[in-house]
Structure formats: structure tokens, C-alpha cells
Amino acid sequence: MHAQHSSGIDAAGIARHLDVSPAHLSRAFAAHAGVGPARFLLDLRLDRARELLHRERLPCTVVAARCGFGSASAFSRAFRQHLGQTPSAWQAGMQAWTDGRATDRRVDA
């Protein structure tokens, strides 16, 4: 999965490749990894997306394609649902933070 996360791979395709039912794959995968294959794959894609947004500062459309999302809107929706903000907002926040101009500089006293 790590090597193929940017392709159109999905849990059903993995099950077919392994010649097992999707339900069996999901149970076995969750028992081993703690999450189902679809969530694991989504987490891999989102981790890679954050890396590309931060380190390479690529536009969302390019990141979506490189990470295996079907479209930029599907990528943006998944990112927002799982990380609480849009990819563009996250990227801008990371840019500000790494440039030393983050607006939230609270100091615990």
C-alpha cells in the first residue's frame, strides 16, 4: 500500500488481488493495523499530501493527483473532514509557521 497509495488502488481492488472478500480483507487488516484498509490508505494519502503541501509547496490540484485522489475537490473534502481545514489554509498556516510569522504565539505562564 505504501508504494501504491498514489495510484487508483482501493480496498476492493486489494481484495480482488488477494482473492479474498472485501469483508474478510477489512477484518484481517483492521486486526493487524488497527484500522480498515480504506482508512489506512486515506491516512497514507493525507500524510503524503501534507508533506507535498509543506515541503514542495505544490498547488492543491497537483497534490491531489500525486496522492491518488480522484479530483481536487475530493482531496479538499477529505482533507477538510479529517484535518479540520482546507489544504490551502493548512498550507498557508504551515508557510507562516516555518517563516516565523505565525500569528498564534501563546506562551504558557
Yes or no: say if 26 and 14 are a contact pair by the CB < 8 Å rule: no
User: Which CATH number characterizes residue 51's domain?
Assistant: 1.10.10.60
- The answer as to whether 75 is a domain residue is yes
Residue 33 to residue 43: CA distance in whole angstroms: 12
Q: pLDDT value at position 86?
A: 94
- The answer as to whether 104 is a domain residue is no
- The answer as to whether 103 is a domain residue is no
Q: CA 34 from chain center: how many Å?
A: 17
- The answer as to whether 53 is a domain residue is yes
Containing domain of residue 29, as a range? 11-98
Number of domains in the chain: 1
pLDDT digits (tens, 9 = 90+) for 61-81: 999 999 999 899 999 999 999
pLDDT digits (tens, 9 = 90+) for 18-48: 999 989 999 999 999 999 988 999 999 999 9
- The answer as to whether 6 is a domain residue is no
- The answer as to whether 78 is a domain residue is yes
Yes or no: say if 90 and 81 are a contact pair by the CB < 8 Å rule: no
pLDDT at 12 over 80: yes
Instruction: Output the pTM of the full model.
Output: 0.74
- The answer as to whether 107 is a domain residue is no
